[in-house]
């Protein structure tokens, strides 16, 4: 059984067909730069372009950088404010001609890791943190998701954590890995004090460089890189298209 998974980000939109029984990508992923301003219709057109590139006619699952309820975006941090109140399920279904189901991007990435990756068979509290244009979070307890947590906006020194500890913030300030690890540690320590997790999973594009900063962190919880790295969002979105839980 397969579905098309698409991960909508502030800088890029990427997708691939996925075997939802194994989590395997069935083709090399396609990435297209997010249209300037990331408004609903242009983003929907890119999603349709990705679907067409795979000659796709089946279900599509999508991860989106905002809390989503019943297909509707409730806020927009790294995309156009025009998404707020937009029924993303309906817009994308209409534009692609395929059945589309949209979920929070960190939530679906976490689903992939809990089903097939670093969180498989992990009990207790697991926090998936995705580091990219912003910071996404997904919290699981005994494999069950608490949806739409937005702890990238947790205040650290009077600012949203993602403005200090996202990968975009690291690149914008040309931080050394040591300095970045210090900022990330500060953020994760705050999360630890709130939830006392058994495991942190670090995802997003920066996860492929995990050996440069994860060993510098000092936390009580175990911390590991996402097994799917930056493809977790694609795999999880495909799972989400089927309404699958972990």
Nearest residue to 152 (alpha-carbon basis) of 77, 83, 230: 77
pLDDT in tens, 218-227: 999 999 999 9
Instruction: Write down the pLDDT at residue 154.
Output: 94
Locate the DSSP E strands across 95-154: 100-104, 125-131, 135-141, 144-146
Domains annotated for the chain, with CATH where assigned, are 2-104+231-240 (3.30.420.40), 108-228 (3.30.420.40)
Instruction: Write down the pLDDT at residue 10.
Output: 85
Instruction: Write down the pLDDT at residue 76.
Output: 87
Tell me, what DSSP letter sits at residue 212?
G
Report residue 104 as tokens. 């929070």
Rounded mean pLDDT of 191-214?
96
Distance CA 246, CA 239 (A): 9
Distance CA 66, CA 78 (A): 8
Rounded mean pLDDT of 189-204?
97
Residues 6+ apart with CB under 8 A from 3: 17, 18, 20, 58, 59, 60, 61, 238, 239, 241, 242
Q: How confident is the model at residue 245 (pLDDT cuts 50, 70, 90)?
A: low
Instruction: Write down the pLDDT at residue 225.
Output: 96
Write down the pTM of the prediction. 0.92
CA 227, distance to chain mean position in Å, is 14
For tokens 């000092």, the residue is: 218
Q: What is the mean pLDDT of the chain?
A: 95
Residues 6+ apart with CB under 8 A from 159: none
Instruction: Write down the pLDDT at residue 138.
Output: 97
For tokens 């990331």, the residue is: 38
């Amino acid at each position: 059984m397969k579905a098309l998974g698409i991960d909508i980000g502030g800088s890029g939109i990427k997708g691939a067909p996925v075997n939802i029984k194994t989590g395997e990508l069935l083709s090399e992923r396609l990435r297209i730069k997010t249209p300037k301003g990331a408004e609903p219709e242009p983003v929907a057109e890119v999603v349709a372009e990705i679907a067409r590139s795979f000659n796709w006619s089946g279900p599509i699952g999508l991860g989106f950088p905002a809390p989503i309820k019943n297909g509707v975006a409730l806020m927009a941090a790294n995309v156009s404010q025009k998404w707020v109140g937009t029924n993303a399920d309906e817009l994308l279904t209409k534009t692609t001609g395929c059945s589309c189901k949209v979920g929070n991007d960190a939530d679906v990435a976490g689903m992939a890791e809990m089903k097939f990756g670093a969180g498989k068979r992990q009990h207790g509290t697991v926090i998936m943190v995705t580091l990219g244009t912003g910071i996404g979070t997904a919290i699981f307890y005994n494999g069950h998701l608490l949806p739409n947590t937005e702890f990238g906006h947790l205040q650290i020194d009077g600012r949203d954590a993602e403005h200090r500890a996202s990968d975009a913030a690291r690149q914008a300030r040309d931080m050394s890995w040591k300095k970045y690890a210090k900022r990330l540690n500060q953020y994760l320590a705050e999360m630890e004090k709130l939830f006392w997790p058994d495991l942190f999973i670090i995802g997003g594009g920066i996860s492929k460089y995990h050996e440069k900063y994860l060993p510098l962190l000092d936390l009580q919880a175990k911390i590991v890189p996402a097994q799917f790295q930056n493809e977790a969002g694609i795999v999880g979105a495909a799972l989400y298209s089927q309404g699958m839980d972990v």
